[in-house]
Chain A
Amino acid sequence: MNPSVTLPHIQQQPLQLEALLAQTERPDCGALAIFAGAVRNHHEGAAVSHLIYTAHPALCNRIIAAIEQETREQFNVPECRIVHRIGELQIGEVAIVVVVRAPHRAEAFAALRYAVDSTKHRAPIWKEEFYPDGSSSFVAGCCIADGFEPPDHLKLLPKKENT
């Protein structure tokens, strides 16, 4: 179990969308794309009563910061912020918020999907589901060991060279 954690990208307190919007406001961005992932009351046909998320805090914080930077560079968007909650979450509570701001909607949508999916595939966070009978299990996740390839849409594009 994690001790009390408050880092830029990982926190135990409820997530505050309004704060992220205020921190990322820009006059040159006409597109604001937001994803919020909330706790569902079912998974693969089984009823779920609540979840507990744990994370390797410092490593997770560093990896999410890297995903934000990649997202900004790959999609040429000025703002990308990702925050994930850990600890015990009840049904309906928000576990992850991602905010992207860009001049136009096309790059905002693409960047948002990359940031959300990359966080799910790479951040060292683990989800334990609890069921109404009191039992629990860890959700089968994405392997981050060497040799396991990410899906094509999460592979980094080669960096553009200045000519």
Chain B
Amino acid sequence: MESMNTITIRFWGITARLAGTEQRVLQLSAGARVADAVEHLRQDAALSGELPRCAYAVGDDMVGLDHPLADGDELSVLPPVSGG
């Protein structure tokens, strides 16, 4: 049986509004990368248009799309920022 990792997606800013929630739990195959999680999120029609402008973080570290995800990771979706 294929090993699965549990990944919690944290939505920030407008992505929480578009997703209709602040977090969502995904089951992804072991070895999955950030890009695989993003591909899953693209299936959400409300979110898909915003994703090309988003950055990603695991815990407190900014990560790229090829970053490997581990079981229990929290992946943040960071839309364009507007502080100040």
Contact = CB atoms under 8 A, between A and B. Distances in A.
Does chain A bind chain B? yes
Interface of A: 1, 37, 53-56, 58-59, 62, 84, 95-96, 116, 119-128, 138-146, 148
B17 A138 contact: yes
Contacts of B84: 37, 84, 95-96, 116, 119-120, 125
20 contacts: A54-B13, A56-B78, A59-B61, A59-B76, A96-B84, A120-B83, A121-B81, A123-B83, A126-B12, A126-B13, A126-B79, A126-B83, A127-B83, A138-B17, A141-B80, A142-B82, A146-B55, A146-B64, A146-B65, A148-B53
A148 B10 CA distance: 22
Interface in B5-32: 10, 12-14, 17, 22
Nearest to A51: B82
Nearest to A85: B83
Interface of B: 10, 12-14, 17, 22, 52-55, 57, 59-62, 64-65, 76, 78-84
A125 B84 CA distance: 8
Nearest to A144: B55
Contacts of B59: 58
A140 B80 contact: yes
Nearest to A136: B17
B57 to A, nearest CB: 5
A140 B54 CA distance: 12
A53 B83 contact: yes
